[in-house]
Structure 1
Amino acid sequence: MKKILIIDDDLSICKILSKFLQKSGYDVTTALSGKQALLLLKKHSFDLIVCDYNLGDINGLEILSKINELYPNSIVIFISGYGNIQTAVDLVKEGAYHFLTKPLYPDIILKTVEEALSQKRPKKEKAPAKIKTVASHDQYVKGNSAAAKRLFEHVALVAPTDYSVIIHGETGTGKEALARLIHDQSSRRDQNFVAIDCGSLSKELAASELFGHLKGAFTGAMQDKKGAFEIADGGTIFLDEIGNLSYEVQMYLLRTLQEKSVRCIGEVKERVVDVRVIAASNEDLYEKVRQKSFREDLYHRLNEFKLEVPTLSERIEDLPLLAAAFIHQAEAQLGKKIKGLSPAVRKLFQNYSWPGNIRELQNVIKRACLLTDDGGSIEVESLPLEITDFSEMTKAKQPVELKNVILEAQKNEIIRVLEKVNYNKTKAASILKIDRKTLYNKLKEINL
């Protein structure tokens, strides 16, 4: 029986992966910190290690170095909630077998584990060729509503072309999944799809992350780094929340798109790249152009085709189909069977406003499935308070200003999470499944 060590500071991930891999015939041990993992590694050897890159007390490269020292034949797969491309490249250089981004689906983990154990651990590569990071991601459920059909008619038209695309839609509507669908339906499908969260990039790091840098180009540049555009050469780059890029970085981006070449920081010569750009924003970029916070020339360069993603409330008739897809995902993760939604839950779902859109529905389903017995149906008792409270409030206060009700529910949830993490906004944003900028905007909106 092959021995696997799972290292993650998220107890739920440890439990889910452990249970799933044990059912698949593996001997699984878990560790909730880097320190605990190192103690285990000093006493026991493992055939394969699944490790979160950001453990808090130690990072991925440090723990990989320790594993290399103790057990050079152990296979290491890294997982992370943020798919930093350079991080993946660095880890593979140092001998990691694979790098997967969250959310994790056990069927993908199992396939990766089986493939990894069937071959020898790769040796360190001093200068690997192009690294293609494979991320587990949501498949976009197309739906049958008029809004969804119109959207996917447009996707079918633009995907085979090489047009730059702007995807506009509220947070949680599935913009990245839609971008991946466009890539998968294009002639670039066999090349890299590189996703960059511009909302998480500081002004100082954005240019380096996008265009790369040479060793010594600035303080802290300890080694050469490939930028996302160079890694995506031949494929597609997805720039999420592009409106958060500074004006200066926007200028560099415009030049890259115009010249079809990049110049990394500290380098004189330019490198030719062939990259399709898909940008996304939950803000109106043209309004930002009017406000002089987004370059008009860049906007028009990106806006060769624009997709408007409907909110979940605008495609509410697709909710049963979406819920069924998310239940199927949860069944695979948890190793249990769920009959579906009870009639009472279906009614609540149809009447709820879904301010967090598809992402909120997915998270509600995942939570409810965890609380539902194997073979049972999802009942009202398994739903979070914001949904059941919303129903009670709308009954008691007819007519009611729905926006105020939504804001009050969001405010209660944000306060609860902030108190739980001692008002650490970065941790709170992670738990709420939103980026920091969105959290700050929500705090302003609800006067916190």
Structure 2
Amino acid sequence: MSKNILIIEDDITFSRMLQAWFVKKEFKVRAAAKASEARKRIKEEIPDVVVCDLRLPQEDGLSILAWIKTNYPKIVVIMMTGYADIQSAVSAIKLGAYDYVSKPFNPDQLFQKINEALEIEDEWEEGGANIVQAKKTAQKGDFVQGTSEEYVKLYEYVDLVSPTQLAVLIKGENGVGKEHIARLIHDKSDVKSGPFVAVDCGVLSKDLAASDLFGHVKGAFTGALSDKTGFFVSANKGTIFLDEIGNLPIDVQMQLLRALQEKKVKPVGSEKEIKVDVRVVSATNEDIEFAVDNGYFRADLFHRICEFVLEIPALRDSKEDIPHFLEHFLKKANKTLKKKVLGFTPEALEILLNYEWPGNIRELKNVVNRMTLIETGKYITKESIPSHFKTKREQTEDEIIHEQEEKQRIKDALRLADYNILRAAAILSIDTKKLYAKIKQYNISYE
């Protein structure tokens, strides 16, 4: 039976090319040039696959993606764009896209991704409960649960807080699996049957953040050619995950606080309020208390989002879990890459255990994939490990001088600003987030 595909693309020439190509591959193909037309096509006949452009004339592709995943979660969605930036890719995948391709691309590349997605879907349908569970695990980012004391305590707290209505703040460095924990909270909560909408606040445009979160009405601003549903409404009766919440502009923080307090949102340009019932889980890799103390994160919003705090340990602080993680991701890499690597030599394992893992579990997974791919023997040896794992590069004299000068400039700016972070950042012509990172890097006292 042929699969049904919907192509959402406003470039008519490119759309017709894709349509013709997929017809030759025996797909049943339909097309739409704008979001409203796409919604109509989907309601008329639910497709197996949607290939959607990120930039559409009336509404962006992320908005239609969120709508599809809220109303038709089984549809496989692949995003495409001529604007190849990783931030858009991350946002699309967090909202539930299967994958992401950048124009120009070979149709064979897109066809391969679609076949992979449909093959997995077919296996899930045929495999019963065990395969369905595997699907859920895969969608959560393939993270594996640690067994160290820190992780055991973390998952105990997840079990405790999930059934409650408390707003949860997840703290942890990049790559530790904050979204994995947020999804786990959702799956163990009373709203698990509702949508899970992940929002990367770090990639929201300062000017359009309110529109993305709360929606807008047609004509609200230049370019608002139609009504838009915000993330909060898309997450109604479910969970919204606000990743990197510390990056929200102050004025949007105020609107978010009101939405959380009153359980209502007002789309930009509208006088009408919309009731929303949403479980809020937030995350940050910053010292958000520092942001509160220095005036660029609202104290009242902070207390609203952190009714319960979860801290995910960095991988370097739970090194006893590293062999367990290595084994887990090696099994997955073997399956994905069709390899049969059995394990790690003692020398390789020692190097991997002694590494600091600044990118945490995400970095570990990527490194295991790389080592598995290039290894020709039965075991991963130290020769397959990236060279920077084995040696620490010495700083050059110029680098040392640059750091000393930069540290002194930051100290001088802080003194001139009477240790006000906002004013010091303005003096240095950098944003407060970068200034805080430098203060932490150089261990500068700011009190």
- The TM-score bracket by the shorter chain reads 0.5 to 0.7
Q: Deviations over 1:212-244 (max 9, x none)?
A: 111111111122111111010111000000000
2: CA distance, partners of 1:154 / 1:47: 50
Q: Is the 8 A contact 1:240 1:279 kept in 2?
A: yes
**Alpha carbon RMSD of aligned pairs, Å?**
4.3
Given candidates 20, 36, 47, the residue that maps to 1:41 is 20
SS in 1 for 2:309: strand
SS in 1 for 2:391: helix
Aligned to 2:77: 99
* Counterpart amino acid of residue 98 in structure 1: V
Given candidates 80, 86, 100, the residue that maps to 2:63 is 86
TM-score in terms of structure 2 length: 0.66
Q: Deviations over 1:225-264 (max 9, x none)?
A: 1111101011100000000000000000000000011111
* Counterpart amino acid of residue 76 in structure 1: V
**Unaligned runs of at least 5 residues, structure 2:** 8-12, 55-59, 79-92, 100-112, 127-135, 404-432, 443-447
Distance 1:340 1:152, change over 3 A: same
Aligned to 1:154: 157
2: CA distance, partners of 1:372 / 1:109: 30
Given candidates 112, 115, 130, the residue that maps to 2:121 is 112
Distance 1:242 1:89, change over 3 A: closer
1: CA distance, partners of 2:53 / 2:379: 32
Q: Is the 8 A contact 1:179 1:238 kept in 2?
A: yes
1: CA distance, partners of 2:214 / 2:310: 26
Given candidates 274, 288, 292, the residue that maps to 1:289 is 292
Given candidates 364, 376, 379, the residue that maps to 1:377 is 379
Distance 1:369 1:3, change over 3 A: farther
* Counterpart amino acid of residue 161 in structure 1: T
Q: Deviations over 1:133-165 (max 9, x none)?
A: 999331442221111111111111111111100
1: CA distance, partners of 2:98 / 2:330: 15
Distance 1:36 1:369, change over 3 A: farther
Aligned to 2:49: 76
After superposition, residues 5-404 of structure 1 pair within 5 angstroms as: 38=17, 41-42=20-21, 45-48=24-27, 76-78=49-51, 85-89=62-66, 97-99=75-77, 101=93, 110-112=119-121, 136-373=139-376, 376-390=378-392
SS in 2 for 1:195: strand
* Counterpart amino acid of residue 213 in structure 1: H
Distance 1:214 1:39, change over 3 A: closer
Q: Deviations over 1:422-446 (max 9, x none)?
A: xxxxxxxxxxxxxxx88x969x969
Q: Deviations over 1:261-282 (max 9, x none)?
A: 1111121111111101111000
2: CA distance, partners of 1:142 / 1:242: 25
- Kindly name which structure, 1 or 2, has the bigger radius of gyration based on alpha carbons: 2
Larger deviation: 379-388 or 195-204? 379-388
Distance 1:223 1:80, change over 3 A: closer
Percent identical residues: 41
Aligned to 1:414: none
1: CA distance, partners of 2:154 / 2:338: 34
Q: Deviations over 1:360-400 (max 9, x none)?
A: 11111121222234x7322223222321334xx69xx9xxx
**Unaligned runs of at least 5 residues, structure 1:** 8-33, 51-58, 118-132, 398-403, 408-436
SS in 2 for 1:362: helix
2: CA distance, partners of 1:281 / 1:112: 33
Deviation of the 1:80 alpha carbon: 10
